[in-house]
């Protein structure tokens, strides 16, 4: 147990630290009339738009259809406004950071012009939704699809890199044809990750259930892995759900070096955040293993390309239209310790990995993960790639714009 103490202490210190920070709201609105000003905060975008409907304005003391009125909106960090001039039914919508100012005045009543405005947004007329979503991705850490290390794009890149690392890490001796036919090896994996992250007032809580299935060929170093991390994430109280499904093939070039191609499909939906997307990716990872005394070093380099695809929800599309290339480079050092896990030699492992995005603008396009774990040793002479294994660890992530946070992770292969 003494060997676990540093991990437990690190985990507790991290959670105590992050618990002291204060999160902003994802959605705010300040409604102003000649007589009153009201500010409200929301966790769901639907509540925000309900607050700027005529029915909501009518609840303000002294408001009439001839009153001057305006609403200042914060939409996940993007500032916008809705304005009515005195004695006018025209509605003006503005997003200053995008240079957008559009007036809806085709009808005689504010309610009708409001309906016209809502149809304009829902139909993505003039690409308004795409422009707003891309601006959020580029200027805030809150978007669940891209722009931060907890977004769907980032976690898909991590899933591919982690799968490649796990496949190349496990050693094994080549079986004879007779042995391979006698017993076809497969392994299942299950895990749990719990994390908290923050960046400039944006707070995220993450819960992930990694699932995987690995098939070993005659040479157990050649293997096919199907993986599907399922995640629930809260961003300043707003909920989102995401999952990705990937296939990874480990092909050893020699005893130390493996090339690992992968394809992955990700999906995300969040009614609270007003966000939904499909993401496709393909990657190629090089993993090189080197032994030094009783330690094992692993060097990983990944190149990935990914792009979003439109996803319809209730006949409406949310077109992000984002494409990126990703480079992820890391190194890990594994060293045995004087304990056993599952009756096998145990080790502790330290790693560092950097992720860099290229392509469309992202708020956080460069970040670094620092990790330490303890568990069944993977890279040791005489161990088998198909042995059961167990690990527990912590990962600390730092990035641009004050991004920081960490997660506790657990994994079991059987």
CATH number, domain at 199? 2.40.128.130
What is the count of structural domains for the chain? 2
What confidence score (pLDDT) does residue 322 get? 97
Rg (CA), the chain: 25
What confidence score (pLDDT) does residue 170 get? 63
In DSSP notation, 138-155 reads HH-S--SSSSSTTSHHHH
Q: Which two tokens stand for residue 115?
A: 């309906």
pLDDT exceeds 50 at position 20: no
What confidence score (pLDDT) does residue 218 get? 80
Of 25-29, 107-111, 289-293, 329-333, which range is least confident?
Answer: 289-293
What confidence score (pLDDT) does residue 363 get? 98
| Cβ atoms within 10 Å of 58's Cβ, excluding its own | 12
pLDDT exceeds 70 at position 106: yes
What confidence score (pLDDT) does residue 66 get? 94
Q: Are 236 and 343 in a shared domain?
A: yes
Q: Are 13 and 48 in a shared domain?
A: no
Q: Are 134 and 154 in a shared domain?
A: no
The larger pLDDT score, comparing residue 147 to residue 34, is at 147
Q: For residue 80, what are the β-bridge partners?
A: 73
What confidence score (pLDDT) does residue 198 get? 95
Q: Which two tokens stand for residue 295?
A: 């330690």
Residue where one domain finishes, among candidates 107, 138, 169 = 138
What confidence score (pLDDT) does residue 4 get? 42
What confidence score (pLDDT) does residue 326 get? 98
Q: How far apart are CA 171 and CA 296, in angstroms?
A: 11
Q: Are 192 and 103 in a shared domain?
A: no
What confidence score (pLDDT) does residue 167 get? 86
pLDDT exceeds 80 at position 235: yes
The larger pLDDT score, comparing residue 173 to residue 321, is at 321
In DSSP notation, 4-31 reads GHHHHHHHHHHHHHHHT-----SEEEEE
Contacts of 306 (CB under 8 A, 6+ apart): 153, 156, 157, 279, 280, 281, 282, 323, 324, 325, 326
Q: Are 309 and 187 in a shared domain?
A: yes
pLDDT exceeds 60 at position 172: no
Provide the residue range defining the domain that includes 122.
27-138
Smallest CA-to-CA distance from 158 within 206, 215, 201 is with 206
Q: List helix spans (H) across 172-233.
A: 177-182
What percentage of the chain carries pLDDT values higher than 90?
A: 72
What confidence score (pLDDT) does residue 378 get? 67
Q: Are 79 and 200 in a shared domain?
A: no
What confidence score (pLDDT) does residue 386 get? 54
What confidence score (pLDDT) does residue 323 get? 97
Let me know how long the chain is: 414
What percentage of the chain carries pLDDT values higher than 70?
A: 87
What confidence score (pLDDT) does residue 376 get? 84
User: What is the DSSP-derived secondary structure letter of residue 3?
Assistant: G
Q: Would the CA dihedral through 301, 185, 246, 390 be positive or negative?
A: negative
Q: Are 130 and 182 in a shared domain?
A: no
Q: Are 209 and 150 in a shared domain?
A: yes
Q: Are 213 and 317 in a shared domain?
A: yes
Burial category of 188 from C-beta neighbours within 10 Å (exposed 0-12, middle 13-18, buried 19 and up): exposed
Q: What is the mean pLDDT of residues 114-122?
A: 95
The tens digit of pLDDT for each residue in 173-190 reads 444 444 444 455 788 999
Angle (deg, nearest 10), helices 110-122 and 128-139: 70
Q: For residue 245, what are the β-bridge partners?
A: 265
Smallest CA-to-CA distance from 75 within 135, 31, 28 is with 28
What confidence score (pLDDT) does residue 17 get? 43
Residue where one domain finishes, among candidates 122, 138, 154 = 138
Q: Are 246 and 119 in a shared domain?
A: no
The tens digit of pLDDT for each residue in 27-57 reads 999 999 988 999 999 999 999 999 999 999 9
The tens digit of pLDDT for each residue in 194-225 reads 999 999 989 999 999 999 999 988 877 789 99
Residue where one domain finishes, among candidates 105, 138, 171 = 138
Confidence of residue 257 (pLDDT cuts 50, 70, 90): very high
Q: Are 125 and 6 in a shared domain?
A: no
122 sits in which H/E element: helix 110-122
Mean pLDDT of the chain: 88
What confidence score (pLDDT) does residue 1 get? 36
Q: Are 196 and 295 in a shared domain?
A: yes
The tens digit of pLDDT for each residue in 271-308 reads 999 999 999 999 999 999 998 888 899 999 999 999 99
What confidence score (pLDDT) does residue 156 get? 98
Confidence of residue 349 (pLDDT cuts 50, 70, 90): very high
Of 61-70, 177-186, 342-351, 382-391, which range is least confident?
Answer: 177-186
């Amino acid at each position: 147990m003494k060997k676990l103490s540093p991990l437990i202490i690190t985990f507790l210190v991290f959670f105590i630290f992050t618990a002291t920070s204060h999160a902003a709201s994802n959605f705010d609105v300040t409604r102003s009339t000649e007589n009153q000003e009201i500010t409200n905060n929301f966790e769901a975008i639907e509540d925000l738009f309900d607050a700027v409907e005529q029915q909501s304005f009518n609840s303000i003391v002294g408001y009439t259809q001839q009153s001057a009125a305006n609403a200042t909106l914060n939409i996940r960090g993007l500032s916008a406004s809705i304005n009515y001039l005195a004695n006018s039914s025209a509605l003006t919508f503005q997003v200053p950071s995008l240079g957008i100012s559009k007036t809806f005045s085709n009808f005689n009543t504010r309610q009708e012009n409001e309906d016209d405005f809502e149809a304009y947004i829902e139909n993505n007329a003039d690409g308004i939704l795409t422009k707003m979503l891309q601006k959020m991705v580029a200027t805030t850490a809150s978007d669940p699809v891209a722009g931060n290390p907890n977004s769907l794009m980032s976690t898909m890149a991590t899933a591919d890199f982690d799968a490649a690392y796990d496949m190349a890490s496990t050693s094994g001796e080549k079986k004879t044809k007779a042995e391979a036919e006698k017993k076809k090896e497969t392994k299942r994996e299950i895990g749990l990750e719990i994390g908290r992250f923050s960046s400039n007032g944006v707070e995220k809580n993450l819960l992930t259930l990694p699932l995987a299935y690995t098939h070993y060929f005659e040479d157990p170093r050649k293997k096919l892995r199907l993986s599907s991390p399922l995640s629930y994430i809260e961003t300043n109280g707003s909920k989102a759900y995401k999952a990705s499904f990937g296939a990874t093939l480990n092909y050893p070039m020699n005893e130390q070096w493996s090339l690992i191609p992968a394809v992955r499909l990700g999906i995300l939906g969040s009614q609270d955040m007003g966000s939904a997307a499909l993401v496709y990716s393909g990657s190629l990872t090089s993993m090189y293993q080197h032994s030094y005394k009783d330690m094992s070093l692993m060097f990983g380099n990944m190149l990935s390309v990914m792009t979003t695809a439109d996803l319809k929800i209730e006949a409406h599309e949310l077109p992000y239209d984002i494409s990126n290339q990703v480079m992820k480079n890391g190194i890990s050092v594994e060293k045995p310790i004087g304990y056993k896990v599952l009756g096998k030699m145990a080790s502790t492992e330290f790693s560092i990995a950097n992720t860099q995005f290229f392509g469309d603008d992202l708020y956080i396009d460069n970040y670094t993960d620092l990790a330490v774990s303890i568990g069944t040793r993977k890279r040791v002479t005489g161990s088998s790639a198909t042995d059961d294994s167990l690990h527990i660890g912590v990962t600390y992530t730092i990035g641009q714009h004050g991004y920081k946070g960490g997660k506790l992770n657990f994994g079991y292969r059987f």
